[in-house]
Structure formats: C-alpha cells, structure tokens
C-alpha cells in the first residue's frame, strides 16, 4: 500500500489550528511546550523548525533550510519493513498530494543504530489563496504499541490452537502455524483460498459464514475439514465477526482439534488465561456495566485511574456523583444504549479521585447483547486524556497571551505619549496574565520607585508600598519574583498585612529592562492564590520587554526632539551629508558661518564650501568615513558664500542606520579665525621671549613635565661647557653635579627634578656643576614649574646663577672677619680682666658692685660676639645657639645654687639685635638672682625666646616676690638700661607679678623661621 493510500481526512484534534499559513510562524517556546514531537517543512520539503521531542525521537538535530535534509529529520526511515528514500516519506506524499495523513506508522532508525516506531499525523498548510506552502508533522512514539501488536502477531503465529482470519466472502486472509500444521498445508496452499474448499460439509460452512455476517458469534461450532494428507480433522470453531461502520469486514476463527480433546482443552485454558491477562493489563481502563450502570468487572488500569481497588469499585454506579463530575450527558446516552437506540457512544468527562483531584477521560461504551438482541452489559473503555485537555487549555491560554502581546506590540507603535504606553501596557498585562489588578512603577532621579500608572489600587496602599523594590537600582540581572500565596510568603509582617488588607492574595514583580538597565517594574495582582506557570512567566517577561522598549522609545523621542533643539541652537555649524557628499541637514549656525541658507545648500554637494585647492580633502574625508573612522579637530579652510575664506576646525563622525551600516557623516565646524590670530600673536611673543632669553647673560633652560630639555640659551651652553641635547638630556644641562661639600648629586635629585616632582619652586640651594673639561662651577639654581590654565604642570624653567666670584669674595670676607673676631675677643677679654681686677681691689662697696655689673655685661657681649663670628652667615644668627651662649656666660657669674633653664624657638635674628638682647638677658637674669631668691636656697631662673603670634617674646621668669616697675625705675640703673635697649629694638618692656615674676620684651618679628 502506498503512502497516498494511507492518507485520510484529518480528524478534529487540538492540532486543528495548523490549518492556516500562520502555523508555519509559531514561536520556538510554544512548540517546545507541546507534549508531542513536531516539525514543519516548506513546500519544497526543507525543514523550517522542530522541537526537542522531535530531535530526541530522531536521535539527531537536522539542519533547517538545508536541501540535503528534506522532508524528514531521521537518519533512516522504514515503512512496511523497507527503507524508503526521502522523497517517498509521508511528508513528501502530503506535500505532493496536498492530502492530510493520519495514523501512518513508520520505523525511525537513529545514527547510533537504535530505532523507534512512531505514528505520524501530517497536515498540509495553505496560504490565504489556497496555495500549499508547507506542512506540519506531529508524531509520537508507538514503539510500545507496535511491540504489543508484534507480540499479538507472535501470539497469533505461535498460538497452540489453529487460528485464521477470514474475509467477508470466506477467503482465508491469514492462518497461524498451528492451523497449517494441523491440516498439513503450506501457507501458500492455504492462505488466499476460500474456507469452503476445505469444509467437508458445505452447509456447515455456509451456516458459519451466515452467522458471522449477521453479527452472531459462534461458540464451539463442530466442523470437519480436509487435511492435505487426505485425513479429516474434527475441529470446534469459535468466532465472531469484525464489524466496522455496522458492516462485517471479516472474522477471526479459533479452531480446536478435538482429536485430542484433553490437550485441546488445556491449550484453550491457557489461551483464555492469556486473554484475561491481556484484558487485565491493557493500557486502557476497561469495565463491564449492567443495565443500571453498576460496575460488574474492572481491569487494573481502571483501578489505577480511579485510585480505588476493584472491590471498592464493583457494585458502584458509574453515575455516582462522588467520583463523576459530568454525569447528565453520559447518563442520557447510556439510557439510549440500554434501550437499544444506539449500540455505542463516546463521551469526554471529568472523573474525581478519592484525594479530591480529577482527571479527564474519554469513554467509549459498547453494548453486548444476547442472540435475541437483549442488552446484557456494556463494555466501557476509558482513556486518560488529561494531558491532551491540559495542552488544549494551555494552547487556548497561549493564544490569548500571544494575542494580547501582539496587540500591545502593534499599538505601542502608535503611542504618542508615556501615558498612552502605560495604559496600553496595563490592558495587555491584565488580559495576558488574567490578573485582576496591575501597576507600573519606575525609578525617579533619586533611584526611588514611584507609581506612574495603576488599576484598582487604593491611595493608602500605594502610599504604603511606594519605593519598595526587591532589586537594587543598579542591579544588572534582576529576576522576576512570583508569590503564589501572600499568606504563606516570607514577607515582613507589616508589608504582608498591608498587601492582604488590599485584598491581594498573589502577586508578581516583573523587572522592566532596556539595554541592560533596570527602569522599574510592573506588578500583577491576583485576588486569589495563583500558581504561576512557565508559560505565564515567559509572557510576563515578553510584556516587560515590550513595555521597557516602549518607555525607552518615548524617552528617546523626547531626547531626539531635545537634540534637534540643541543642534539648532548650537553656536557651532552642524552639517550632515551622505556618502556621496550631498548635504542633508544644515543648522542655523552653518547659515551664519558660511552665508548659505539651508534651502540653498540641502541636496547639493558639500564642495560648494570647499576652496578649489582643497578638493582632495573631501575625497580623503569620505574614504575615512566609509571605514568607520572619526576625524577629530581637523583644521582647514572653507569658503563662504561671499567668496571669503574662513579658518575652521572640523570634527566629523560616521552616521549609521539601525543595522549599524554607515550611511553618511555628521560634521561640526567651529570658526577658529580668532584663535588663529591669537596663535600668530603667541608665536610672535614666543619668538620675542626666545630672543630675550638668548640675550640674557645668565644660563637659562626649559624642560617638559618629565624633565627633558626643550630649550636653552647661549649662556647655558657657556655655563655647561657643552651643547645640551634637546629631548634627550634630562633635569640639567651639566653631565655631572655635586653638593657644595663635594658629594655627588644625582640628576633625579637635583633642584630641577625636585621642583617638577614636588610641584614647587626651589630656592636657597647651592650646587656645583662639572664641565666636560673637569672644571667646576658653583651656582645657585632657580627651578620653577610652569603651569597651564587648568593648573597642570607643562614643564619647568631654571636659571643658573654662577657664584664663583661671590664664593671668592666670601672666602676673603671670612678671613677678615676671623681676624676681626680674634682682635675684638682679645680686647673684650682684656677689658673684662681689668674690670674684674679693679672690682677686687676697690675699697668702695658701691664701686665694686658697679664694676661687677660691668664685668657681667662685658661677658654677655663677648658671648654674643662669639656667636656672631662663629656662624657661616655674616648677617644673621641662630636663636637657640645665641640664647645658649649668653645664658652660659651669665651662669658663670652666678653661684652654683642659681640655675638657668632656657628655651628658644628655631629661627634667626639679624646681627643688629644680638648685643641689645645679650645685655637685656644679662640685666634681667642678674636682677632675678639678686631679688628672686632667699639666702642660699636653690634658685631657678627660666629664660625663653619664643614666637607668640606676630611677635618674638624674650622673657625671664623667677619665683620671687616681684616688683612694680614704676616704683623702682628711678633707683634701678639696670632696668633703665633694659628699657633703653628695648626702645633700640623697637620693643616693649613689661613686668608681671603673681605666683611668679615675669619680665618680658616683645618686639616685631625679625626672625626668618
């Protein structure tokens, strides 16, 4: 039989939707959810798509759209035991004839050598004009069923009793080996002949055939048959007619050789047992029902479907509402069957299990009647069709979801505002997800979620939950969250009570994304607990994708309008052109810069503003733009409408279409005429500066930020004894540097390096440079960083002052000072000795005191003199060194129980202050000794020279009773001397008494700290 002969009109099923052209455009997600293997081919047999179940049955994944894999994705295909070519497959037959094919059985061989049996159901697909555009094949594995048939065939062939199948006219269609052996014929001698030819009694043969034609089964009908060897075999025939559409199409006959009755009865018993086993373990639920609808007998599969034992089922009515939910139609049909109006009917109904669940079943009820036509019982065969019903329901839901999604996608294209987008999205959310309420929340500029649209939510609820989000605002991959039952959810108690108070029992949080950025979320609210299926989650994400796209599209439109405003109001000329150089846009600034209006240039070549001598520039620009290159700050010249030339800076970027293809260029032109004029002035100024630096007789050079030499004048060449290498020499123009003490000075530690590294000018440093000829030059550098307008270091400048002559002068000066210091020191020592000697010889107490005071003053002055001449600097002295020297000198004039403690801030004072301060310290310390102690008790005198605010304070402090300055001034020559010396320093003298006595001299800061 050919494939075309196997074709049959399509029966109603859940696959009926494939009868139109849109079926070839179904989503991959949808076909993956189907419980059957499925694939589609175009009119030429090329595979368009397939699901994973199809690939599993094939054992491979074929190439879609490939001519080498036409009609079928299997490795090899067999029909009727014969391997067939691809153009002989069922799919090829349907595409060739346009006739649907249902129930054709094939064997699929996989690449690994295994094979499965499958039943195919193929529907052709036509477009709106009725033209065949392809076909869809839904197929499922029937290996178990085929094996069962094969087992039944083996059972038939290997049965211990004779079995044969007759056509309606008595022709033997098939006979098993037992019957052939019993009669002794070969199959070719028996099959195909008429059974009458083997009956000895033709009347018996005619009676048997008449009974079978009239649907009357025969039981143990005795007959005699011719054997091949001439013997007669006595048999008992049991048979019934095979009926289809109320017509007999043949019969199956059991023939028992009663020659050996005992053996035949044993074999018959075994066959009955096997038939009973087959009945018991059939894949469908089977029951026998009496005229009142009570169960008489049930098989194991029916018990499994009902989740009850046979004892629990037998005797109960099939119309018992405890486990049958749709009984009225079934009851009415059964009444008609019992009455004989119909012999058979089918019904689909829901049946409850004892645990409260239910399943869908397809019931076929067939009458069993006696010879007089009286109703004996009905055989009901039940198939579990729950999966099919579920698929149908899910398919209907998916169709509704897809319709809502399609409408949203279509309508979003026509939305004119964000408000339109929100309303369309809320409609689609509630239709596709079948929720009762919904809302949309978006992040504001502070990254807080705010309601922007909602349906059915109270003001109080929105105020309570606004701002709540299960994700962070910057989360990159937020996942949707589904809560099937709010009461069971692990939520904060306050939030849970708020949601329940609003009447919400289930909720879904769906993130809104666009280009990887989290925009917000939409919410679906359900008034009852709701389990979210995979299909719903996919649709929710698809809705979120479309909504996010719609929101960003509206925002992009607004931004585009804003961009247009920016372009039009820009002070720079902005022009766009295509890849042929034809102008497509021209803003107002372009009109001002070039003098042409947009109407005058749009549609014309950009060469209208290019001078003749620069035409090659445009060719090169277009070449670079076609390669995707951006041209940044190209300085060139363009021609205005009036013929004048203008200096401009061009920034040119490629313009791409939605597919990323370069379709043109955008130019930003800036008038740089004023900058060019300024640059000319700067260059002239720089030349003047270089001329000036070259004329300066002092060595000057500059560096870049990394210290590399960028400029030097002729004096620098003379100073270094060599010509520095620009861009190579670093930090200094001399190859070798030393500190004044002769220690080598590394170049990266030289003053210029320090100035650039620490970003500060360096002053007061001396160094020595060694020329290539070995001579050394002492110098003072003046390195200074150079900054740009933004405060960034762009280089440095250094002036090297040759101090060779000054060093020679200082050496001579030091020699003179040393000689002077020696002579002054000798004179003071001589004067101090004379005064001390005179004090010892004096008979007058008053004269002795005067001479001793003078000796102390000379000693203090000598100490100050030593400090002045011992310092390297001839103009300043160190405060700590000075105070130590003077206090030590004064201490030598006092007894041992008088102690002087001293403290000085770091710093220096000019030499002019040394002698007045030394005398003041001597007078105040001597006065503290005379009046601050009692007897020979230990006396502590504290002397300090410190900085306080903007002044320097010299203070002498003791623990004596103190004095009032005005009352003692007239009788104390020492205090009058202190006041006079303070006036000489421009200082103020003050005395304070209390727990201690403190004398202080405050003078304006002369120290350099």
Q: What is the mean pLDDT of residues 685-704?
A: 75
User: Of 537, 561, 585, which marks where a domain is finished?
Assistant: 561
Does 692 fall in a domain? yes
Residues 122 and 176 in one domain: no
Phi, psi of 108 (to 5 degrees): -105, 125
- Contact yes or no for 890/943 (Cβ under 8 A): no
Q: For residue 41, give the H/E element and its range.
A: strand 37-42
Please return the burial class of 882, using the count of CB atoms within 10 Å of its CB with bins 0-12, 13-18 and 19+.
Answer: buried
Boundaries of domain holding 662: 570-671
Over residues 241-264, the pLDDT tens digits come to 766 555 555 677 888 888 666 455
pLDDT at 595 over 80: yes
Tens-place pLDDT, residues 395-437: 766 777 777 777 777 777 777 888 888 998 899 888 888 899 9
d(CA 158, CA 135): 42
Write the DSSP assignment of 615-679 as a string of letters. Answer: HHHHHHHHHHHHTT--EEEEEEEEE-TTS-EEEEEEEEEEEE-TTS-EEEEEEEEEE-HHHHHHH
Q: How confident is the model at residue 15 (pLDDT cuts 50, 70, 90)?
A: very low
- Same domain flag for 548 and 577: no
- Whether residue 718 has pLDDT greater than 80: yes
Judge if 892 and 996 occupy the same domain.
yes
- Sign of CA pseudo-dihedral 370, 376, 380, 381: negative
Tally of CB atoms within 10 A around 177: 15
Q: Are residues 833 and 953 in the same domain?
A: yes
- Identify the bridge partners of residue 105 per DSSP, sorted by sequence position: 119
DSSP code for 12: P
Whether the CB-CB separation of 879 and 905 falls below 8 Å is answered with yes
Q: For residues 836, 841, 847 and 853, what is the CA-based torsion angle, rounded to 10 degrees?
A: 10
Percentage of the chain exceeding pLDDT 70:
83
Q: Express each pLDDT in 613-669 by its tens digit.
A: 988 888 888 898 888 888 888 888 999 999 899 888 888 889 888 678 998 888 888
Tokens of 222: 């005795």
Indicate if 650 and 512 belong to the same structural domain: no
Which tens digit of pLDDT belongs to each residue from 146-203? 887 777 777 777 777 888 888 878 888 888 888 888 889 998 888 889 988 889 889 8
- Tens-digit pLDDT profile for residues 96-118: 999 999 888 899 999 999 999 99
Is the predicted pLDDT of residue 802 greater than 80, yes or no?
yes
Token look-up 């129930």 returns 103
Residue ending a domain, among 561, 587, 604, is 561
User: Alpha-carbon distance 408 to 777, whole Å?
Assistant: 88
pLDDT above 70 for 826: no
Tracing tokens 């000598």 back to the chain, one arrives at: 862
User: Who has greater pLDDT, 822 or 309?
Assistant: 309
Instruction: Please check whether residues 415 and 484 belong to one and the same domain.
Output: yes
Report yes or no: 910 and 876 within 8 Å, Cβ to Cβ.
yes
pLDDT tens digits for range 939-987: 888 889 888 877 888 888 888 777 777 767 766 767 788 888 888 888 8
Has residue 65 got a pLDDT over 80? yes
SS3 814: helix
146, two tokens: 């085929």
Provide the residue count of the chain. Answer: 1009
Q: Answer yes or no: are the C-beta atoms of 461 and 496 closer than 8 Å.
A: no
User: How far is Cα 415 from Cα 678, in angstroms, rounded to an integer?
Assistant: 53
363 touches 380 (CB < 8 A): yes
Q: Which structure tokens are listed for 557? A: 């439109």
Q: Which residue shows structure tokens 């300024």?
A: 678
Q: Is 137 helix (H, G, I), strand (E, B) or coil?
A: strand
Residue 19 has pLDDT above 50, yes or no: no
Are 796 and 702 in contact, with CB atoms under 8 Å apart?
Answer: yes
347-356, 460-469, 559-568: the lowest-pLDDT one: 559-568
Higher-pLDDT residue of 568, 272: 272
What is the overall mean pLDDT for the chain?
Answer: 82
Are 514 and 549 spatial neighbours (Cβ–Cβ below 8 Å)? yes
Residues 6+ apart with CB under 8 A from 205: 170, 195, 196, 199, 223
Residue written as tokens 């319709």? 403
Backbone angles phi, psi at 952, to 5 degrees: -105, 135
Residue 143 pLDDT greater than 70, yes or no: yes
What are the DSSP calls for 54-114, one per residue?
Answer: HHHHHTS-PPTT-GGG-S---SEEEETTEEE-GGGSHHHHHHHH---EEEEEEEEE-TTS-
Output the DSSP codes for 247-262. EEEEEEEEEEEGGGHH
Identify the pLDDT of residue 559: 62
Higher pLDDT, residue 242 or 345? 345
Does the pLDDT at position 20 exceed 70?
no
Pairwise CA distance, residues 304 & 737, whole Å = 104
- Tokens 């048999």, residue located: 235
pLDDT higher than threshold 70 for residue 610: yes
Say if 104 falls within a structural domain.
Answer: yes
Q: What distance in Å separates the CA atoms of residue 637 and residue 448, rounded to the nearest whole number?
A: 51
Please tell me the predicted confidence (pLDDT) of residue 247: 52
Beta bridge partners of residue 666, listed in sequence order: 576, 653
Are both 413 and 511 inside the same structural domain?
yes
The helix (run of H) or strand (run of E) holding residue 431 is helix 418-433
**Predicted pLDDT of residue 768:** 92
Say if residue 843's pLDDT is above 90.
Answer: no
For the chain, helix, strand, coil in percent to 5 are 40, 30, 30
What is the pLDDT confidence band of residue 351, given thresholds at 50, 70 and 90? confident
Instruction: Report d(CA 954, CA 920) in Å as an integer.
Output: 9
- Contact, 943 vs 883, CB < 8 A? yes
Per-residue model confidence (pLDDT) at position 841: 65
- Confirm whether 390 is domain-assigned: no
What Cα–Cα distance (Å) separates residue 903 from each residue in 677, 884, 917, 938? Answer: 64, 9, 15, 20
Compute the distance between CA of residue 755 and CA of residue 758 in angstroms, rounded to an integer: 5
Same domain, residue pair 221 and 257: yes
Q: Of 36, 2, 6, 23, whose CA–CA distance to 100 is shortest?
A: 6
**Distance between CA 756 and CA 730 in Å, rounded?**
12
Q: Are residues 552 and 535 in the same domain?
A: yes
As a whole number, mean pLDDT of residues 70-82 equals 91
Q: Are residues 378 and 470 in the same domain?
A: no
Statement: residue 132 has pLDDT above 60: yes
Predicted pLDDT at 872: 57
User: Is the residue at 389 inside a domain?
Assistant: no
Q: Nearest Cα to 466, choosing from 456, 453, 451?
A: 451
Q: Is 367 a domain residue?
A: yes
pLDDT at 842: 65
Last residue of a domain, one of 351, 384, 417: 384
Rounded CA gap, 211 and 203, in Å? 12
Instruction: Find the CATH number of the domain harbouring 8.
Output: 3.30.450.20
pLDDT exceeds cutoff 70 at 5: no
- What tokens were used for 944? 């300090």
CATH code assigned at 863 = 3.30.565.10
Dihedral angle computed from the Cα positions of residues 822, 826, 829 and 831, in that order, rounded to the nearest 10 degrees: -130
Residue 876 host element (H or E): strand 876-878
Structure tokens at 459: 């003001």
What the block records as the tokens of 844 is 């007058």
pLDDT of residue 136: 93
Q: What is the pLDDT of residue 781?
A: 92
Q: What is the DSSP string of 501-568?
A: HTT--EEEEEEEEETTEEEEEEEEEESS--PPPHHHHHHHHHHHHHHHHHHHHHHHHHHHHHHHHHHH
CA-wise closest residue to 637 among 613, 655, 660, 658: 613
Average the pLDDT over 763-771 and give the result.
89
Query: 261, 57, 262, 234: which is closest to 139 by C-alpha?
Result: 57
Q: How far apart are CA 171 and CA 190, in angstroms?
A: 10
**Where is average pLDDT lowest: 732-736, 819-823, 960-964?**
819-823
Instruction: For residues 58 and 14, state if they share a domain.
Output: yes
**In this structure, what token pair is assigned to residue 278?**
């087959």
CA atoms within 13 A on the CB side of 158: 6
Retrieve residue 469's tokens: 């989000």
Q: What is the pLDDT of residue 562?
A: 59
Give the residue-averaged pLDDT of 932-944. 77
pLDDT over 50 (residue 800): yes
Return the higher-pLDDT residue of 180 and 835. Answer: 180
pLDDT value for 995: 78
**pLDDT tens for each residue of 473-487:** 888 889 999 999 999
- d(C-alpha 827, C-alpha 842), whole Å: 22
pLDDT-wise least confident of 420-424, 470-474, 785-789, 993-997: 993-997
Distance CA 854, CA 82 (A): 144
The Cα 545–Cα 35 span in angstroms is 27
Task: Find the distance separating the first CA and the last CA of the chain, reported in whole Å.
Answer: 118
Q: Read off the pLDDT of each residue in 450-479 and give the average, rounded to a whole number.
A: 89
Q: What is the sign of the dihedral through the CA atoms of 769, 771, 777 and 783?
A: negative
- Are residues 232 and 112 part of one domain? no
Task: Answer whether residue 339 shows pLDDT above 70.
Answer: yes
Q: What is the CA radius of gyration of the chain?
A: 59
In this prediction the pTM is 0.33
Is 1009 among the domain residues? no
Give the count of domains, the chain: 7
């Amino acid at each position: 039989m050919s494939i075309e002969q196997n074709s049959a009109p399509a029966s109603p099923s859940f696959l009926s939707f494939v009868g139109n052209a849109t079926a070839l455009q179904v989503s991959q997600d949808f076909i993956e959810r189907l419980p059957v293997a499925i694939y589609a081919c175009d009119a030429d047999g090329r595979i368009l798509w397939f699901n994973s179940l199809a690939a599993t049955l094939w054992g491979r994944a074929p190439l879609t759209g490939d001519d080498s894999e036409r009609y079928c994705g299997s490795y090899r295909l067999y029909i009727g035991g014969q391997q067939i070519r691809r153009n002989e497959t069922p799919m090829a037959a349907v595409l060739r004839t346009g006739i649907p094919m249902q129930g054709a059985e094939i064997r699929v061989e996989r690449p690994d050598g295994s094979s499965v049996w499958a039943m195919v159901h193929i529907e052709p697909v036509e477009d709106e004009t009725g033209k065949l555009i392809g076909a869809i094949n839904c197929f499922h594995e029937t290996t178990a069923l085929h094996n069962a048939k094969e087992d039944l065939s083996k059972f038939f062939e290997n049965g211990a009793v004779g079995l044969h199948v007759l056509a309606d006219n008595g022709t033997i269609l098939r006979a098993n080996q037992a019957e052939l052996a019993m009669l002794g014929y070969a199959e070719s001698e028996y099959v195909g002949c008429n059974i009458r030819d083997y009956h000895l009694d033709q009347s018996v043969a005619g009676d048997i055939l008449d009974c079978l034609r009239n649907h009357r089964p025969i039981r143990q009908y005795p007959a005699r048959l011719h054997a091949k060897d001439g013997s007669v075999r006595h048999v008992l025939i049991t048979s019934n007619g095979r009926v289809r559409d109320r017509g007999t199409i043949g019969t199956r006959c059991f023939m028992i050789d009663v020659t050996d009755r005992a053996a035949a009865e044993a074999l018959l018993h075994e066959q009955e047992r096997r038939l009973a086993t087959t009945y018991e373990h059939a894949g469908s639920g089977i029951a026998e029902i009496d005229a009142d609808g009570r169960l008489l007998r049930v098989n194991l599969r029916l018990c499994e479907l009902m989740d009850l034992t046979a004892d629990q089922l037998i005797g109960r009515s099939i119309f018992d509402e405890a486990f049958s939910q749709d009984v009225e139609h079934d009851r009415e049909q059964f009444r008609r069957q019992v009455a004989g109006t119909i012999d058979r009917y089918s019904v689909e109904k829901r049946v409850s299990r004892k645990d409260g669940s239910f399943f869908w079943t397809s019931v076929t009820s067939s009458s069993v009647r006696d010879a007089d036509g009286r109703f004996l019982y009905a055989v009901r065969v039940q198939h579990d069709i729950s999966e099919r019903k579920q698929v149908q329901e899910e398919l209907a839901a998916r169709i509704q979801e897809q319709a809502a999604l399609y409408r949203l996608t279509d309508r979003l294209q026509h939305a004119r505002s964000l408000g339109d987008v929100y309303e369309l999205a809320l409609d689609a959310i509630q239709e596709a997800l079948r929720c009762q309420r919904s809302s949309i929340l978006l992040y504001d500029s502070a990254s807080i979620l705010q309601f922007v649209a909602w349906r059915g939510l109270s003001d109080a609820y929105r105020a309570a939950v606004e701002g709540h989000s299960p994700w962070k605002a910057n989360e990159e991959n937020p996942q949707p969250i589904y809560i099937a039952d709010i009461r069971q959810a692990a939520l904060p108690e306050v939030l849970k009570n708020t949601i329940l108070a609003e009447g919400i029992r289930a909720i879904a949080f769906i993130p809104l994304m666009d280009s990887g950025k989290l925009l917000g979320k939409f919410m679906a609210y359900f008034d009852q607990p709701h389990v979210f299926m995979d299909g719903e989650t996919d649709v929710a994400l698809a809705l979120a994708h479309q909504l996010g796209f719609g929101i960003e599209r509206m925002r992009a439109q607004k931004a585009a309008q804003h961009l247009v405003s920016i372009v039009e109001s820009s002070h720079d000329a902005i022009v766009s052109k295509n890849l042929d150089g034809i102008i497509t846009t021209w803003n107002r600034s372009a009109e001002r810069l070039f003098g042409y209006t947009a109407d005058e240039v749009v549609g014309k070549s950009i060469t209208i503003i290019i001078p003749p001598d620069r035409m090659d520039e445009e060719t090169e620009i277009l070449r670079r733009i076609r390669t995707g290159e951006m041209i940044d700050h190209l300085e060139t010249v363009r021609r205005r409408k009036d013929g004048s030339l203008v200096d401009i800076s061009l920034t040119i970027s490629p313009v791409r279409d939605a597919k990323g293809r370069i379709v043109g260029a955008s130019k930003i032109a800036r008038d740089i005429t004023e900058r060019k004029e300024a640059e000319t002035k700067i260059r002239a100024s720089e030349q003047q500066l270089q001329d000036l630096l070259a004329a300066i007789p002092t060595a000057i050079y500059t560096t870049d930020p990394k210290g590399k030499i960028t400029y030097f004048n002729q004096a620098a060449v003379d100073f270094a004894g060599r010509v520095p290498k620009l861009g190579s020499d670093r930090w200094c123009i001399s190859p070798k540097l030393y500190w004044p003490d002769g220690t080598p000075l590394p170049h990266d530690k030289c003053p210029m390096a320090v100035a650039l590294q620490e970003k500060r000018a360096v002053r007061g440093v001396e160094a020595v440079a060694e020329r290539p000829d070995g001579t050394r030059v002492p110098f003072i550098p003046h390195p200074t960083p150079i900054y740009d307008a933004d405060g960034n270091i762009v280089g440095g400048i250094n002036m090297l002052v040759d101090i060779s002559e000054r060093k020679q002068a200082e050496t001579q000066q030091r020699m003179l000072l040393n000689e002077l210091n020696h002579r002054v020191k000798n004179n003071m020592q001589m004067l101090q000795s004379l005064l001390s000697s005179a004090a010892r010889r004096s008979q007058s107490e008053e004269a002795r005191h005067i001479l001793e005071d003078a000796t102390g003053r000379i000693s203090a002055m000598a100490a100050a003199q030593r400090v002045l001449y011992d310092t390297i600097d001839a103009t300043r002295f160190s405060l700590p060194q000075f105070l130590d020297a003077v206090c030590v000198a004064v201490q030598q004039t006092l007894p041992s129980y008088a102690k002087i403690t001293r403290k000085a801030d770091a710093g220096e004072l000019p030499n002019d202050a040394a002698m007045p301060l030394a005398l003041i310290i001597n007078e105040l310390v001597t006065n503290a000794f005379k009046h601050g102690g009692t007897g020979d008790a230990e006396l502590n005198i504290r002397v300090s020279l410190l900085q306080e605010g903007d002044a320097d304070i010299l203070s002498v402090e003791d623990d004596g009773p103190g004095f009032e300055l005005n009352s003692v001034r007239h009788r104390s020559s020492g205090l009058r001397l202190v006041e006079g010396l303070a006036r000489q320093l421009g200082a103020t003298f003050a005395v304070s008494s209390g727990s201690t006595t403190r004398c202080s001299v405050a003078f304006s800061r002369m120290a350099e700290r």
